Amino acid sequence: VDTFDDIAYGNNRYVAVGPNQSTIYSTNGLNWLPSGNTLTAVSDWNAIEYGTNNFVCLADGSDTGAYGTDGITWTAVTVPYANYKDIAFGSGTFVAVGSGVSNASYSLDDGKTWAASELGSSGNWSGVTFGNSTFIAIKDGSDTFVTSSNGVSWTAFQLPASGAWKRIVFGGNKFVITGSNTTVAYVSNDNGATWSAGTLPSTADWDKLVFSNNRFLAASSTSNVLASSADGIIWKARGN
């Protein structure tokens, strides 16, 4: 397997997950080792995050999750539903969202047991992140987003426009959202109360987004584009 869907850092290592039972890990980000197909076989492990002591990964198309300390040995668990798209950790709580449901899933014990919380509406919940003591989850094909202080009780709000919103991250004391078939990136400095529009360098499927070294980095899984921004508003195309 040469493609992986998500990556997390914790316990002095990076761990990446992908299709089937595929996981790899690295202590320096340069040299990678396979974990040996120790995950339960599912169609696609596509979301991973590190919490207090454990990596937790969830799958698209399965109600099986897994947790482990090192990215090599995993313990399988049952989660409330299938089709997970993203997972976040904050204030001792994992929160995960997925497509075709009206619920989020949350864990208060580092991924060992899970329960469902009501998001308020059904849809393709594509991204979730945590910052400033707040979880924010976004929906693909909608202007709806929801916020929560604990991952259990959620309040719905609206973005300035509907769109195929794919990813949300927190960094530099702000939330940033990117999506597909657009040049728009939304930025909030006040936990989602207001949003400003930034401009990405080209129309693309901006479905990959991270914050690292004081910069937001946006990329696409379907085209050869890469952009960076210090504030989420002004973006610069990068060589690739």
Phi-psi bin for 119: left (phi > 0), alpha (psi -120 to 50), beta? alpha
**Amino acid 18: pLDDT:** 85
Cβ(43)–Cβ(57) under 8 Å?
no
**Amino acid 30: pLDDT:** 93
**Amino acid 221: pLDDT:** 84
> Strands across the sheet with 215-219, in order?
208-212, 215-219, 226-229, 236-237
**Amino acid 2: pLDDT:** 61
Residues 6+ positions from 220 with CB-CB distance below 8 Å: 204, 205, 206, 207, 208
**Amino acid 240: pLDDT:** 56
CA distance 78 to 66: 8
pLDDT per residue of the chain (240 residues) written in tens, 0 to 9: 467 889 999 999 999 998 877 789 999 999 999 887 678 777 688 899 999 999 999 998 889 899 999 989 999 999 999 899 999 999 999 999 999 999 999 999 999 999 999 999 999 999 999 999 999 999 999 999 999 999 999 999 999 999 999 999 999 999 999 999 999 999 999 999 999 999 999 999 999 999 999 999 999 988 899 999 999 999 999 975
Q: How far is CA 170 from the centre of its chain?
A: 11
Cβ(148)–Cβ(154) under 8 Å?
yes
What tokens were used for 115? 């329960």
